[in-house]
Amino acid sequence: MLTFLNRTFAESGEPPLTEIVLLNPYTEKDAPLDKQSIFDIWAKTAEGKLINIEMQLFNKYDIEKRTLYYWSKRYSGQLQEGQTYKELKKCVTINILNYSFISNDRYHNVYHLREDHTGLELCDDIEVHFMELSKLDEKAAPVEGGLINWLLFLKGVDKTNWEVLKMNEPTLKKAMDTLEFLSQDREARRLYEERQKYLHDEASMIEWATEKGMAKGMAQGMAKGIAEGEQKKAIQIAKNMLALGLQVSVIAKASGLTEAEVESLKTVQ
């Protein structure tokens, strides 16, 4: 993990880290609902800088707002009662996405808070990375000791290329050995398959909801014309979609309920 972070920060011009402390030690979860991302890691450097790494398999939409929301909670949550603002430490968010989000060809984009015309930085407390695996060319020759080796591994490059990756980035061997071990563990494989099934079901639900939402007048027609039995069905559909974490606006369009009705279901989940 330390090497991965140093490869990441090297591309944004930052000095290497010497030590990190994991703030959320890995614990196994049985519920596939808890496995919407491959991993979610919180760490802290020796200087107190906070780092969050998250990998998303599917487009959750509004990722930029979601990122800023959780970044702000993490940043403001540092202060204890009576502490001053100068106690706040830098927070870094690293999003590894298995889909394209930013409209350029770079697989690694880094954002800071700077003045538009001069590029003068207001402060260095915010740093957001987006790494898009979909922009990686698996046929491209990996760079010796570069971040791309890690990202190709995370993307799931064919095992026949693992030796090349290990030659370029020897520290990847431990990650590869861990993955090999887990693949032989029956319980780990079961949990992995449960998560995959949940994610595929969620993707299908999102696709279905989007198609329904795009049908002109669908939501309004359903809201006005459905009978009591259909109304119960619509409510159940909305509850199921709420459990999947879909947006209220999407659920409203798909179910025929109003956004206010969908919001009210949150209190009776």
pLDDT in tens, 201-218: 666 666 667 666 665 455
> Helices 2-10 and 147-155: crossing angle, nearest 10°?
120
CA distance 40 to 54: 4
CA distances from 73 to 52, 123, 125 (A): 12, 18, 13
> Helices 248-255 and 186-214: crossing angle, nearest 10°?
60
Q: In this structure, is residue 155 part of a structural domain?
A: no
Q: In this structure, is residue 23 part of a structural domain?
A: yes
Domain final residue pick, 135, 150, 169: 135
Q: Both 88 and 212 in a single domain?
A: no
Q: Which parts of the chain sit beneath pLDDT 50? A: 26-36, 38, 216, 222-223, 226
Give yes or no for a contact between 192 and 34, defined as CB atoms under 8 angstroms apart. Answer: no
Question: pTM of the full predicted structure?
Answer: 0.63
pLDDT in tens, 137-160: 766 666 666 888 888 888 877 777
The secondary structure of 75-108 as a DSSP string is: HHTTPPTT--GGG---EEEEEEESS--SSSS-SE
Q: In this structure, is residue 168 part of a structural domain?
A: no
Amino acid symbol at 148: I
Q: Both 9 and 100 in a single domain?
A: yes
How many domains are there within the chain? Answer: 2
Q: In this structure, is residue 179 part of a structural domain?
A: no
For 75-217, list the strands marked E by DSSP. 91-97, 108-114, 121-132
Q: In this structure, is residue 150 part of a structural domain?
A: no
Range of the domain at 14: 2-135
